[in-house]
Chains A and B, each alone.
Chain A
Amino acid sequence: MTVEPWRTALALGILLAGSLVVMTVGGLGYRRELLVSAARALVQLVLVALLIAWIFTHPQGAFVYLGVMLVVAAFTSNRRIGGDRRDYAGVLLAILLGAGATVTIVAITGALAFDAQTLLPFSAQMIGGAMTTASLAGVRFRDDVRDQMMTFQGYVALGATYHQAGREFSKRASEKALFPTLDQTKSAGLVTLPGAFVGMLLGGASPLAAAQVQLLVLIGLLLVQAITALLTTRLISPLDPKVGASAAVAGAPV
């Protein structure tokens, strides 16, 4: 499917102008932000398209691209969680193993063609999903420990290490992190048409082929997230490094 670029440009121009007109008539703010966002999307997507096009002809570049993605994903999650350097290593490993396991299974079974053109976007989507899960699970985990600090302290007082005590909170936080994808999977095709499905249809693939790939993405994400959520909550410290468990210690300033 190829469309002359000028047709795309024309459509984009009209769409944007339409948004501006509607927003102006309705007296809505954020018009400047609309333009900035659109410009950013344009630049970012063109650059990524060029980069991926280059990778398709230089497949070894895929590893570099995915490596960078992984590092940035772990950084983003860890910052959201408020982790320190040691936590970063845990989050990185959790994302790597979660996404890695799924991509390996899909590649080995031959469910997706073993080439950069197929595996790169699939891997990228798995890393993205793992990042979301690591953030959700990690934040939830730390919040739960903080909210139930007396219980946490009870485990430690019996001789549990911080990690042993944290394990008692890991299960529930991990479960919570799976909810969004479970819901998305349950409602696939009913409430929304998921991204890969829409993309493939637009790209001219048959609806059945689109469904096949979409299933790999959804079910793959479930494995990614189960692994990443559990590992994140097992590997990061249950305590915020700056605050520790101050709230539980009588007499300590909070």
Chain B
Amino acid sequence: MTHGSVFDLERVSISYGSVPAVRDVTMSIPHVGITAFIGPSGCGKSTVLMSLNRLTDLVPATSLTGTIRFDGADIHAPDTDLVALRRRIGMVFQKPNPFPMSIYENVAYGPRIHGQHTGLDAVVERSLVRAGLWDEVRNDLGRSATALSGGQIQRLVIARCLALDPEVIAMDEPTASLDPVASSTIEDLIRELAADYTVVMVTHDLQQAARLADRTAFFSVEYDAEGTRTGLLVEYGPTADLFERPIDQRTRDYVTR
């Protein structure tokens, strides 16, 4: 998997019941580095991100057509091990969501549910170090995670993913609810992680995409004759091309507004 793509999406359309979210997305996400999804609200970028580890399954009556391949395997194949899939693809959300337990237990939760009960101290330390939080919490591991600041919680959530040794870290607007200082700490961390992990992130912040991402995908919204709104992928390529030499007029309008 050192070359080629991690994800291959082929004509992926997703709807929630009768409400279409996004249609006809075809794209490949390569190994390591940062891929950003940008676009206006309702363009389906978060839906596509969530579908990568099948969190869209949480919504009943979700229907998906087309195929999503992860490491060559169709993630909707009947023999897909959902637990293993989610272990390999970590997810960080917009709203920091600490578990109501200690800092230590937050990080140990993933390994525990996957059956690991020994060597947890080392896993917790390694993950917190990697997420840049260790020095701040090393003496408070038993403290409730909910007492941490928003930026610390977001790094804790990243440590929680890292504890499972994932291949991909998917992030849904990871800095949207943070102050500028905490945001920039997270951005630095994302940049570091991208050397070893495939990072896919949704962001509302065009500058953030321009600063961080190797590749950027621009999603937009279209309305059919009856006024039904659907998201679609307009343009996808190296970030510099997308921002400086966009091919599609809609992309140009969006990135230069």
Contacts and interface: CB of A to CB of B under 8 A. Distances in A.
Interface of A: 150-151, 153-161, 164, 168, 239, 241-246, 248-253
Interface of B: 16-17, 19, 21, 42, 44-47, 49-50, 53, 55-56, 58-60, 62, 82-84, 86-87, 90-91, 93-95, 97-100, 109-110, 113-114, 157, 160-161, 164, 172, 202
B76 to A, nearest CB: 17
Contacts of A164: 113
Contacts of B55: 153, 156-157, 249
A150 B100 CA distance: 12
Contacts of B17: 253
B52 to A, nearest CB: 11
Q: Interface majority SS on B: helix, strand, loop or mixed?
A: mixed
A136 B59 CA distance: 26
A156 B160 CA distance: 12
A248 B60 contact: no
Given A159-B113, A250-B46, A154 B59 contact: no
Given A159-B82, A239-B58, A253-B17, 13 more contacts: A150-B97, A157-B55, A157-B90, A158-B86, A158-B87, A158-B113, A158-B164, A159-B86, A159-B110, A168-B100, A245-B58, A249-B50, A251-B50
Which of A151, A160, A250 has the most chain B CB atoms closer than 10 A to its own CB?
A250
Contacts of B161: 158
A250 B50 contact: yes
Which of B42, B58, B84 has the most chain A CB atoms closer than 10 A to its own CB?
B58
Contact of A249 (B44, B59, B83): B59
